[in-house]
Chains A and B, each alone.
Chain A
Amino acid sequence: GQQVMQIPQYQHVQEGEDFTTYCNSSTTLSNIQWYKQRPGGHPVFLIQLVKSGEVKKQKRLTFQFGEAKKNSSLHITATQTTDVGTYFCAGGQGGKLIFGQGTELSVKP
């Protein structure tokens, strides 16, 4: 079936280090969305990528959509303690959003 795989499952970094999470789909995606879920909270929409090879930036966050529209990445430069949470990618397939398993980021001050 349709699957969106995300790695790594966990990432522990020292504050100031960079962080990257990767998302891969077995099928071509119409779009990719990224969400952040703080501990005990709900997913919050961060960004959407639609075009092949698209790159978008939000301050220290850089999002990429692969040329084949089957993979995506989120890179955070110089992490801060406020970046703590689980980051999910979600691929648009057939009008539905298929979420990855998420990458849980912890930041040590």
Chain B
Amino acid sequence: DAGVTQSPTHLIKTRGQHVTLRCSPISGHKSVSWYQQVLGQGPQFIFQYYEKEERGRGNFPDRFSARQFPNYSSELNVNALLLGDSALYLCASSLVTGGFQPQHFGDGTRLSIL
């Protein structure tokens, strides 16, 4: 079975641009979460979606938004990119929502802002 897939794997943008990152969860998983991982730090929770509804939001500005589609795939959008947005963006899926669910991570999208 395929794991969590993310695209693109790498992305280079300049300040002020916007970016869309994509994620396909493991088949049968209905919950998708997004994390930002800065080098040397643990993943920071951005959003969780379950059944197309936002179920949780971390401490990130409104420039960050996300959505989940009927097939449970998800997009993370970041507007007005800043240098500090450079990070590895990880998508994780789980069977259902909630903090008790093991997270199955994808390989991530490495975003570099110039």
A65 is an interface residue with CB less than 8 A from chain B: no
| Chain B facing A: main interface SS | loop
Which residues of the other chain, B, contact A30 by a CB distance below 8 angstroms? 99-100
Within 8 A of B (CB), among A22-39: 30-31, 33, 35
How many of chain B's residues touch chain A, expressed as a range? 20 to 34
| Measured CA separation A95–B33 after assembly (Å) | 12
Which single residue of chain B is at the shortest CB-CB distance from A100? B42
Q: Which of A12-20, A40-48, A52-60, A69-77 contacts B (4 or more CB under 8 A)?
A: A40-48
Binds A, one of B14-22, B54-62, B67-75, B79-87: B54-62
CB distance B105 to A44 under 8 Å?
A: yes
Could you tell me if A31 and B99 are in contact, using CB atoms closer than 8 angstroms? yes
Contact pick for B102, options A1, A48, A93, A101, CB 8 Å:
A48
Q: Are B105 and A48 in contact (CB under 8 A)?
A: no
- B44: interface (CB < 8 Å): yes
B11 → A minimal CB distance (Å): 17
Interface band, chain A:
20 to 34
For B105, list chain A residues within 8 Å (CB).
Answer: 42-44
Contact B55 A95 (CB under 8 A): yes
A92 CB within 8 Å of chain B = yes
A45 — which chain B residues lie within 8 A by C-beta? 102-104
Known: A42-B90, A42-B106, A43-B105. A95 touches B43 (CB 8 A): no
A102 and B35 alpha carbons, distance in the complex (Å): 15
- CB-defined A-B contacts under 8 Å, sample of 7: A42-B106, A45-B104, A50-B100, A94-B56, A95-B97, A97-B33, A99-B44
Residues of chain A at the chain B interface (Cβ within 8 Å): 1, 6, 30-31, 33, 35, 41-45, 48, 50, 88, 90, 92-102
Residues of B within 8 A of A (CB): 33, 35, 40-45, 48, 55-56, 58-59, 90, 97-100, 102-108
Interface contacts beyond A31-B99, A50-B100: sample of 7 additional A-B pairs, CB < 8 Å, sorted by A? A33-B103, A42-B106, A42-B108, A45-B102, A94-B56, A94-B99, A97-B33
